[in-house]
Amino acid sequence: MNKASAFRLPASLLIAAMAAGGIVIQMTLPIAGRSAFGMWRYFTVQSNALVALAAALDALALVRGRRPGTRLALFRGLALFAITVTSTMFALFLSRLWNPPGMAGLANSLLHAWTPLAFWAYWLVFGERGLLKPTAPALWLGYPLAYLAGSLLVGSVSGFYPYWFINPAPPPDGLGSYGHVALFSLGSAAAFLVLGYALWGVDRFLAAAAVRLVARKPENDPRDTSSP
C-alpha cells in the first residue's frame, strides 16, 4: 500500500462511519412520529446511504489491493451528486424549517453538512480522474427523477410527501397543485443536470492538470529516490 492509499483508507472509513452514524442517529429519532423504516423515504437518508456504501467500497478495494475502476468511479460520482443535491436543497429550502437541538441536531449536521463536505474533500483529494464519461451526469439525474416519481406515487395513496416542495397540498404544507410541483421539479432537474456537468467538468479539469504535471516533471528529477 503506497502513501496515498495509507491516508485514503482511514479517510474512506471515517466518511462511511459519518454517513452511517448520521443515519443511525436519525433512525432512533424519527421525524413527526415516522417509523425508522419510513425514514428511508427521505432523499437525505438515501443519499447518505449511497455515500456510506461508496466509501465502504473504496475501503474494500484498497484493502484488497485493487485500484477502484470505472464502475466504482461512476458510483462514487452518483453518491457525490446525490449528497450535493441533499445539502443544496436543505440549505435553500429546508434549513429555516428544520434546526433541531440535541441528538437530532447532531444527526442533522452529519446528514446535511459534515458528511457532504467530507465526501467532497475525499473526492477532490483521492478520486481517480478521467474515468467519468460525458453521459454520467444524465445517468446520475435519473436517480432524483426516480425518487420524485416514487414519492409522488406513494404520496398520492398515503397522503405523505417527504418534502413540502413535492407536495401538491395547499401552502404552507405544499406547493398548491401538481402543476406547481411539476414546474418546481423541472427547474430543479435542470439545475441538477448543470450540477452534474459541473462535477464532470471538475473531474476533466483535474485529469488534465494531472497530465500536465506529469509532463512537466523532469526525467531525472533529483527528488525522485526510486530505484532505476
* Residue whose grid cell is 449528497: 83
Q: Which three cell numbers, joined as nine digits, stand for 98?
A: 428544520
> What does the buried/exposed string (b/e) look like for 56-67 if buried means 16 or more CB atoms within 10 Å of the residue's CB?
bbbbebbeeeee
**Residue in 111, 105, 4 with CA at minimum distance from that of residue 51:** 111
Q: Is the pLDDT reported for residue 114 higher than 80?
A: yes
State the pLDDT confidence band at 33, using cuts at 50, 70 and 90: low
Region 49-63 average pLDDT: 96
pLDDT, one tens digit per residue, over 139-152 is 999 999 999 999 99
Region 104-131 average pLDDT: 96
pLDDT of residue 4: 63
pLDDT of residue 225: 45
Q: Which three cell numbers, joined as nine digits, stand for 8?
A: 485514503
In percent, how much of the chain has pLDDT > 70?
Answer: 92
pLDDT, one tens digit per residue, over 36-47 is 778 999 999 999
- 203-to-79, 119, 187, 196, 198 alpha-carbon distances in Å: 15, 15, 25, 11, 9
pLDDT, one tens digit per residue, over 67-90 is 778 899 999 999 999 999 999 999
Q: Which three cell numbers, joined as nine digits, stand for 202?
A: 471538475
Amino acid at 80: L
pLDDT, one tens digit per residue, over 143-177 is 999 999 999 999 999 999 999 999 999 999 999 99
